[in-house]
Structure 1
Amino acid sequence: MRSAAPAVLLACLALGACAHVRKADVAMPAAFEGAEGAPDRAPAGSIDLDRWWLAFHDPQLTGLIDQALARNPDARSAGARLTEARANRIESLTHYLPQGDAGGSTKRTDTHQLAGTVFNFPGFTSSGVSDATGATLNVSWEVDIFGRFLATSKAVNGDIAAARFNYEGARASLAANVADAYFQARGLAIQLDDARETQRIEQELYDTANKRAQVGLAASSDADRVAGDLAQAKAAAAGLEAQLQVERRTLLILAGRIVEPTSNIAVEASVGNLPPVPDALPSELLKRRPDVREASARVAAATGRSQLDILSLLPVVNWTPGLSWSKQSQPGFSVTAQSVINGAAITQPIFSIPKLLAELKAQNARSEQAVIAYEKAVQTAFADSEGALVSLDSDRQRVALLTDGEARAARGYKANKLGYDRGLTDLQTALSAEQSWRATRSQLTAAQVQAARRTIQVYKALGGGWPAERFPTDKQAR
């Protein structure tokens, strides 16, 4: 058996030398297509992506996001996972420190012989007080010869980094969700104002048609036709009021203010001026996006675990020094004993090698999965960013075109409405102009809201959140 041990050790070393984790392929194009010369694009680095929502210059939006980051269960849960990862790191690394517990005992016995012969000679008396006291300190220390501590450190440091980036990603997603819901609410407020304006216009048309029918200038069916459109406008306004209330409640829930009434959220019927988005290089995604950094950290953790599985095939050396002290006294004489024991043990896997090899193979497969997940995260990040940038440019061009079209349609409706009021045009002409204006106005509102939401998507896709070097404290994580 002794002659076989060196061969087993050499085989294990050879296996360890051959095992490795594949390097991830994270190559990306040099630039985003269509980004050069795009409108409303700010220079790279001119906007603070760490708190991108400040670029909107909206105090209410900033307040809602800050409240959500502090109170929302998703952010708090991610913070708790980060705290757990830190505790697990300490637990794993202290395994390589000396382990042991101190113990002590004491016992006193008082003996009185009630019958029989009582010997009073020293050492032979059976009556009196006996004391027994002892103390032990048992220590076990795994002597790290082959680098298990470093491999464990790599694994647990990867875990804690992944938990931190998951925490950052949860907060970044939460901020984006709040901003998205906020602009959806403002879009609904705009649509509600449009619906109320449509209701007012239909009411004016109904009053005019009704008066003209009463004096015999138009058929009574004209008023009946406008009455149907008026009822639809009122129903649309009521539906939008309900949707706006639901969106306000969503904002309160995200901000951790669920018990407050929805009236506490004031929603302005305007999207406002949208900030420009910064030009960025695809390579910056690897430095900024929390999901990419989390995937990279999980590769590092898996690599450390693969190294640990390799080292599990090598001998384990345990040093077990022990210290004990005892004192015992009996009636008539006392005995004191003291001893110090030092020992060591070496364990070399032999019959468990097939099992350990299978575990190593499984861990290598998990490491490959981590590498693939990292590559996928990079690809997804690039696709998200380029898609959001291209779509935002298209949305802003659409807003510009619809703004001009809405102004023209408004002028056309006002001219036809004036002609109908004076009896120069018929009802059908006025209604057609009004419907064309209303359709263009609705498309403009939808395009404005979509552009605002797309701006948020761009900031999120480019890695808006927190930089890699920022490390939240336990108090912040909670």
Structure 2
Amino acid sequence: MTRSTFKFVLAPVLASLVLAGCSLAPKYERPAAPVPGAFPNAPSSSAMPVSASADLGWREFFRDPQLQSLIQVALENNRDLRIAIDRVEEARALFGIQQSERLPTIGVGGNASIQSMPEDLRAGGASAPSVTRVYQAGVGITSFELDFFGRVRNLSEAAYQQFLASEQARRTVHITLVSQVAESYFRLRAIEQQRALVERTLKARQASYDLIKQRYDVGVAGSLDLYQAKSQLDSVRADLQEIRRAEQLAQNALLLVLGTTPSNLPQAAAFSQDQLLAQIPVGLPSDLLTRRPDIIAAENGLLAANANIGAARAAFFPNISLTGMLGFASGAMGGLFSGSNRFWSFTPQLTTPIFSGGVLGNLDLAEARKNIAVSQYEKSIQTAFREVADALAGEATYAEQLNALRDLETSAAESLKIAQLRYDNGIDSFLQVQAAEITLYNAQRSFLDTGLNSLMNRVELYKALGGGWLENSVVPSATPESGKDAS
């Protein structure tokens, strides 16, 4: 490439870089968080080594090795996560396409023009040749816009923010998936415990029915006692089928979030709060702005809308584009590239809107979309605050509720023993035994249901605070002063 050719190609690029600093986008200011400055029911302190729940890795939060292995399987096979990853690549490609508009398209090409003209239209009259030929070849720039007012730059910025939003959406799917696996796993575990309870109760009710049947056969018990015992037995039999159906549905739900069928699902085992950390750091609502990926994504959308306003404003100003070519031109193909056939063309084009309702409409549309983005951003903060507050309300009450249900189960068991003893001694009817059995059975099932809800609530709090993105915890390094004091 000759020096003149290099200057011809480089000049528009340098001009675009110099002029790209101008932007008509409004100055961005983050909206104030429309929530209180502190969470209700928030613990006063936490002994956790991490500063925020988002820094707490899911392997440290979920202590059950079987659950850890299932989460790993889901992260490798879940289709929703794969779609989210592909969405990121899609947004990356769209950003690359928009970014390319900021640089000129330079290419090498050639063309030929051959035409025959009648005598009365020839430039030289009848003596001119009837067929004219023109051959051209060289380096050219096609319709490159000089971005004086930042239109292309703002469109590129909007595409970049959309790309960042898609990355945050992927993180949101990741966090949600981790919590979904945990919730499905705990639900399956709870149903297994429910099934064991129902099977034990069914065995006890069957023994009670057999005993009353024997007493009925010898005339000691009446038909009312017999049918009451039979109704108790049939009720638990129906519960057992309901539990078996729920267990199958829970397994199907777990397989769906896993995205594959593992060689074997975990065997039945007890579940408790010991499978989770006792406490997690809550922090302040302002932490959510930098920890929750859905809030970050909403702000990315707001920044994109802000940039689109700049692009819409730039449409009110002149648009200048360049088309040019530098190379060789000749009337004969054989001598096209000789030194005397150098050729160049330069075609600047300026377009200035005088009246265009569409341009004004585009600006109104961009401003309306920014207002929508502001509201969406503020709502995402309010939603996050509500989710954390709801989970904290559960943390503040579930422990006492479980303690009350334990006491209820103990009282119901003692009541059943007394009622059975009074019935055996002929003091009370079997109706008292039946009522005591129902009370104990319901207390035991309520305890298991509440225990599951307590676990689910702890998982929801972890997710609501932005936890579940990291596999292992990030422990803040000690400052020089703190390290010195520790030594």
- Smaller-chain TM-score range? 0.7 to 0.9
Q: 2:139 aligns with which of 131, 137, 140?
A: 137
Relative to structure 1, is the Cα distance of residues 252 and 145 closer, same or farther in structure 2, using a 3 angstrom cutoff?
A: same
Q: Distance in 1 between matches of 2:208 and 2:368?
A: 72
Q: 1:17 Cα deviation (Å)?
A: 7.0
Say which SS state the counterpart of residue 348 (structure 2) adopts. strand
* Paired amino acid for 2:443: T
Q: 1:169 Cα deviation (Å)?
A: 1.0
Please tell me whether the aligned partners of residues 305 and 363 of structure 1 are also in contact (alpha carbons under 8 angstroms).
yes
Residue matched to 1:311: 314
- The answer as to 2:38 corresponding to 1:31 is yes
Residue matched to 1:385: 388
* Paired amino acid for 2:271: S
* Paired amino acid for 1:93: Q
Residue matched to 1:92: 98
Q: Could you list the per-position Cα deviations for residues 16-59 of structure 1 after superposition, in whole angstroms to 9, with x for gaps in the alignment?
A: 97966675231432211222459x99687375655336423112
* Paired amino acid for 2:89: T
Relative to structure 1, is the Cα distance of residues 379 and 330 closer, same or farther in structure 2, using a 3 angstrom cutoff?
A: closer
Relative to structure 1, is the Cα distance of residues 37 and 429 closer, same or farther in structure 2, using a 3 angstrom cutoff?
A: farther
Q: Distance in 2 between matches of 1:334 and 1:175?
A: 67
The RMSD of aligned alpha carbons is 3.2
Q: Distance in 1 between matches of 2:53 and 2:304?
A: 33
Please tell me whether the aligned partners of residues 198 and 233 of structure 1 are also in contact (alpha carbons under 8 angstroms).
yes
Q: Distance in 2 between matches of 1:360 and 1:442?
A: 60
Q: Distance in 2 between matches of 1:49 and 1:247?
A: 30
* Paired amino acid for 2:265: N
Residue matched to 2:267: 266
- The answer as to 2:220 corresponding to 1:236 is no
Please tell me whether the aligned partners of residues 25 and 154 of structure 2 are also in contact (alpha carbons under 8 angstroms).
no
Please tell me whether the aligned partners of residues 21 and 367 of structure 1 are also in contact (alpha carbons under 8 angstroms).
no
Structure 1 unmatched ranges of 5 or more:
1-15, 108-130, 468-478
Q: 1:151 Cα deviation (Å)?
A: 2.2
Residue matched to 2:65: 59
Relative to structure 1, is the Cα distance of residues 185 and 64 closer, same or farther in structure 2, using a 3 angstrom cutoff?
A: same
Residue matched to 1:360: 363
Residue matched to 2:456: 453
Please tell me whether the aligned partners of residues 53 and 61 of structure 1 are also in contact (alpha carbons under 8 angstroms).
no
Residue matched to 2:178: 175
Relative to structure 1, is the Cα distance of residues 334 and 448 closer, same or farther in structure 2, using a 3 angstrom cutoff?
A: closer
Residue matched to 1:122: none
Q: 1:453 Cα deviation (Å)?
A: 1.1
Q: 2:412 aligns with which of 403, 406, 409?
A: 409
Q: Distance in 1 between matches of 2:349 and 2:52?
A: 61
Please tell me whether the aligned partners of residues 309 and 356 of structure 1 are also in contact (alpha carbons under 8 angstroms).
yes
Q: 1:241 Cα deviation (Å)?
A: 0.6
Q: 1:195 Cα deviation (Å)?
A: 1.2
Q: Distance in 1 between matches of 2:191 and 2:152?
A: 58
Higher mean C-alpha displacement, 66-75 vs 96-105: 96-105
Identical-residue share of aligned pairs (%): 27
Q: 2:288 aligns with which of 285, 290, 310?
A: 285
Q: 1:412 Cα deviation (Å)?
A: 2.9
Residue matched to 2:15: none
* Paired amino acid for 2:36: P
Residues paired across the two proteins, number: 425
Q: Distance in 2 between matches of 1:197 and 1:68?
A: 34
Residue matched to 2:252: 249
Please tell me whether the aligned partners of residues 140 and 324 of structure 2 are also in contact (alpha carbons under 8 angstroms).
yes
Q: 1:88 Cα deviation (Å)?
A: 0.8
Residue matched to 1:400: 403
* Paired amino acid for 2:463: K
- The answer as to 2:434 corresponding to 1:434 is no
Query: If the length of structure 2 is used for normalisation, what is the TM-score?
Result: 0.78
Q: 1:142 Cα deviation (Å)?
A: 2.7
Q: 1:426 Cα deviation (Å)?
A: 4.0
Q: Could you list the per-position Cα deviations for residues 401-429 of structure 1 after superposition, in whole angstroms to 9, with x for gaps in the alignment?
A: 11222123223323443554566654223
Residue matched to 1:7: none
Higher mean C-alpha displacement, 288-297 vs 56-65: 56-65
Please tell me whether the aligned partners of residues 42 and 279 of structure 1 are also in contact (alpha carbons under 8 angstroms).
no
Q: Summarize the alignment of residues 162-241 of structure 1 with structure 2, pairs less than 5 Å apart.
A: 162-241=165-244
* Paired amino acid for 1:167: R
Relative to structure 1, is the Cα distance of residues 26 and 340 closer, same or farther in structure 2, using a 3 angstrom cutoff?
A: farther
Please tell me whether the aligned partners of residues 25 and 307 of structure 2 are also in contact (alpha carbons under 8 angstroms).
no
Q: Distance in 1 between matches of 2:292 and 2:432?
A: 55
Say which SS state the counterpart of residue 264 (structure 1) adopts. coil
Q: Distance in 2 between matches of 1:25 and 1:245?
A: 47
Please tell me whether the aligned partners of residues 54 and 62 of structure 1 are also in contact (alpha carbons under 8 angstroms).
no
Q: 1:378 Cα deviation (Å)?
A: 0.9
Residue matched to 2:109: 103
* Paired amino acid for 2:70: L
* Paired amino acid for 2:81: A
Q: 1:163 Cα deviation (Å)?
A: 0.7
Q: 1:368 Cα deviation (Å)?
A: 1.0
Relative to structure 1, is the Cα distance of residues 295 and 335 closer, same or farther in structure 2, using a 3 angstrom cutoff?
A: closer
Relative to structure 1, is the Cα distance of residues 458 and 335 closer, same or farther in structure 2, using a 3 angstrom cutoff?
A: closer
Relative to structure 1, is the Cα distance of residues 389 and 450 closer, same or farther in structure 2, using a 3 angstrom cutoff?
A: same
- The answer as to 2:154 corresponding to 1:154 is no
Q: 1:62 Cα deviation (Å)?
A: 1.9
